[in-house]
Structure 1
Amino acid sequence: MSSIGAKSYEPATPKKVAFLGLGVMGYPMAGHLAKAGHSVTVYNRTPAKGEAWVAEFGGSARQTPREAATGADIVFACVGNDDDLRAIVLGADGALAGMQPGAIFVDHTTASADVARELYGAAKNLGIAFVDAPVSGGQAGAQNGLLTVMCGGDQAAFDVARPVAMAFSRAFTLMGAPGAGQLTKMVNQICIAGLVQGLSEAIAFGQKAGLDMNLVLDVIGKGAAQSWQMDNRGKTMVADKFDFGFAVDWMRKDLGLVLDEAKRNGARLPVTALVDQFYADVQSMGGNRLDTSSLIKRLR
C-alpha cells in the first residue's frame, strides 16, 4: 500500500529536484513530487529510509546533501530544527556546495526567522535563491498532498517553485521578505496553542458536568465555537486517544521559537507562554510523542 494518498496534480514542467529529510512529513512530500512527474533525488541522515523511498517511488538516493543537490533545479528540505537545517545546507557536504547559480532551495522546516535570513544571505552570495516555506496540515496533509505552505523570499524564486511545490500543497503563498514564512508559521502555532487549551478545558468541564460530550461537540460544532481542532481532535480527546498527529515535543520546539521571537519584537503572549508550560507538564507525564491534543490530560 502506498504511503501517500491519491491526488490529481496540476500540470507543471517536469524538473530535476532533490528532497533532503525523509521524516513523517518529508517522505510523503517527496513521494508526491515523484508521482507528479518530477525527477527526484533524496537524502536522509539514515540511508535505509532513502533506500525505502526509492524502492517505493523510484528516483535515486545519495549519501550527502551536496550529492543529492548536485544538478537540481530546486532542492526541497524538511528537517527538525535550526541546527539540523544548517547541517544540510552549509559546509563541504551541504546542499549549497552542490547547487548551481540560479537554483532554488525551498526549506519546509519550522525554524527561526533568524536562520531563514542567515541562509537566504549565504545562498544569495552564491547566486542561489532561498525560500523559507514552513507548512501546516500535519502528517495527514503531507500524505494527501494538501499542505498549506507559507513562504518568505523573492518573488522570482517563489514563482518558479510554486508549480512544483503544488504537488504536495493545497496553498503555496508568498507572505513577504525572507523570514516571513517562519513568522507566519509562528502566528499559526500561537492560534493552535490557545485553541487546544480552550477545547481541553471545555471537554473536561463538560465531562465533569455529566454531559454526552460527543453530542455536545456535534451541536456546538455547528456554531461559533467550531474550529479545525474541534472537528478533528474533539472526539479523540473525549475518547482519551492521542497516539497520532503532531507531537508535543515538536509543539514545544515551535512555541520556543515563538517566545524567543516575541522577546525580540516586544509582542505580549501571556496565554501562549502559559500553554507552553502546560505542554511541559504533559512532557513530564511521559507524553512527549503524543498529539498536541493531549493537553487535556493535565485536567483529568
Structure 2
Amino acid sequence: MEKIAFLGLGRMGLPMARRLAAAGHPLTVWNRSPGRAEGLTGDRRAGVTVAATAAEAVRGADVVVTMLSDPAAVAEVAGRCAAQLAPGALWIDMSSIGPRATAELRERLPQGVVLVDAPVIGSVGPAASGELVVFAGGEEADVDRAWPVLERLGRVRRCGGPGSGAALKVVVIGAIVASVTALGEVMAVADELGVPREQAREVLSVGPLAGVVARAFGTEADFPVRLAAKDLALAGGGPVLRAAREVLLADPSIAERDLSAVVQVPRAVAV
C-alpha cells in the first residue's frame, strides 16, 4: 500500500485516520495540537507514526490527505510542507475550502505533484463508520489513484475535473445550512404564535422538508455552527445565504455546538 501522510486530526480527521490505519496503510499523522494523535490507540496504532511537523509528515509520502478547518489553515499547512513533496506524490484535500482556495492550493504544489479535491458530507459518526459522501474532483487518472483511499472513508462520487468536488460541496452544504437555519426561524415563529413545537415538528417531518427536519432535530451530528457559517461564506450567494450566515454568527454561545442548535435554542422573532 502507498504511504499516507494524514494532516489534521480534528473532529473529522481523527476517525478518518483511524479507518486508514485499520485498513493497513502505512500512516504518518500530524496535528497542530499534538495530543490529538493519542486518539490513535490500541491495535490501530500499529504502523502509525506521529510526526512533529507537517514537513516531517509528508517527507517520503506517496499520498497526503488534508482534513483542515478552512482555507487559511490549508494554505498555512501547504506553506509549511509542500516543498518536501516528491514528484509523483498525490495530495487529497478533503477540507471544505471551496473551488477558489482549491485552485490556489494546486498552484502551490511543486511540479509533478497532483491534487484531488475530495470534500465530504457527513459528521463524526459517518466518518468513523466509513459512511461519508465524498465529492471527488480532479483528472480522471488522479481520481482513480485516490479511489482506494477515498472508498475506505465513504461513498465516492466523481464530480468532474479539478475543483468540481469542492464546488459541489459548496452548493450542497449551502443548501443544507441555509435550510436548517430557516427552519430555526420557522420554529421561533411557532413559539411566538403558540404552536407547540412538537406539533410543528410532527407536521413538517411528513412533508417535503422531512430531510431538513431530521437533520435539524438530530442528536448524533457534530458540525459546529462556526464551521457552518464558514461554509456559507464560501458559497457567497445572494441575500438569503448572507442572512442565514448572519443568524448563525449572531449568537456566539452556540458557535461550538452542532448546527441543530440554531433550531433547538429558542429565540424571539416579531410576528
Global fold match (TM > 0.5): yes
Residue 223 of structure 2 corresponds to residue 246 of structure 1: yes
Q: 1:278 to 1:216 in 2, by over 3 A?
A: closer
Q: 1:271 to 1:56 in 2, by over 3 A?
A: farther
Q: Is 2:204–2:213's contact at 8 Å kept on the other side of the alignment? A: no
- Counterpart in the other structure of 1:194: 178
Provide structure 2 residue ranges, at least 5 long, that are not aligned to the other structure: none
Residue 270 of structure 2 corresponds to residue 293 of structure 1: no
Q: Is 1:150–1:172's contact at 8 Å kept on the other side of the alignment? A: yes
Residue 99 of structure 2 corresponds to residue 110 of structure 1: no
SS at structure 2 position matched to 1:172: strand
Q: Distance in 1 between matches of 2:161 and 2:64?
A: 19
Q: Distance in 1 between matches of 2:196 and 2:94?
A: 40
User: Which aligned pairs between 1:50-89 and structure 2 lie closer than 5 A?
Assistant: 50-53=37-40, 57-58=44-45, 59-89=48-78
CA shift at 1:22, angstroms?
0.5
Letter of the structure 2 residue corresponding to residue 67 of structure 1: E
CA shift at 1:279, angstroms?
1.1
Q: Distance in 2 between matches of 1:139 and 1:79?
A: 14
SS at structure 1 position matched to 2:144: helix
CA shift at 1:111, angstroms?
1.1
SS at structure 2 position matched to 1:167: coil
- Counterpart in the other structure of 1:7: none
Q: Is 1:120–1:178's contact at 8 Å kept on the other side of the alignment? A: no
Q: Distance in 2 between matches of 1:246 and 1:199?
A: 17
Residue 141 of structure 2 corresponds to residue 151 of structure 1: no
Offset from partner CA, 1:262-289 (integer Å, 9 cap, x none) = 4xxxxxx221111111112122xx2211
Offset from partner CA, 1:126-178 (integer Å, 9 cap, x none) = 20111122111022221222111112221111111112221111x22232332
- Counterpart in the other structure of 1:121: 107
Offset from partner CA, 1:32-85 (integer Å, 9 cap, x none) = 011122111111112222244255621111112222112222110111222211
Offset from partner CA, 1:169-196 (integer Å, 9 cap, x none) = 1x22232332222221111122113311
Aligned with 1:173 (options 157, 160, 164): 157
Q: Is 1:214–1:235's contact at 8 Å kept on the other side of the alignment? A: no
Q: Distance in 1 between matches of 2:266 and 2:93?
A: 35
- Counterpart in the other structure of 1:34: 21
Q: Distance in 2 between matches of 1:194 and 1:79?
A: 22
Aligned with 2:244 (options 256, 272, 275): 275
Q: Distance in 1 between matches of 2:187 and 2:125?
A: 24
Letter of the structure 1 residue corresponding to residue 98 of structure 2: S
Q: 1:245 to 1:74 in 2, by over 3 A?
A: same
Letter of the structure 1 residue corresponding to residue 95 of structure 2: T
Q: Distance in 1 between matches of 2:235 and 2:218?
A: 28
Q: Distance in 2 between matches of 1:278 and 1:85?
A: 26
CA shift at 1:209, angstroms?
5.2
Q: Distance in 1 between matches of 2:56 and 2:163?
A: 27
CA shift at 1:292, angstroms?
1.5
SS at structure 2 position matched to 1:37: coil
Q: Distance in 2 between matches of 1:109 and 1:52?
A: 20
Q: 1:156 to 1:251 in 2, by over 3 A?
A: same
Q: Distance in 2 between matches of 1:216 and 1:253?
A: 29
CA shift at 1:218, angstroms?
4.4
- Counterpart in the other structure of 1:3: none
Q: Is 1:190–1:255's contact at 8 Å kept on the other side of the alignment? A: yes
Aligned with 1:223 (options 202, 207, 223): 207
Which deviates more from structure 2 when the two are superposed, residues 249-258 or residues 50-59?
A: 50-59
Provide structure 1 residue ranges, at least 5 long, that are not aligned to the other structure: 1-13, 237-242, 263-268
Q: Distance in 2 between matches of 1:154 and 1:235?
A: 37
Q: 1:15 to 1:235 in 2, by over 3 A?
A: closer
Q: Distance in 1 between matches of 2:33 and 2:245?
A: 31
TM-score with structure 1 length normalisation? 0.79
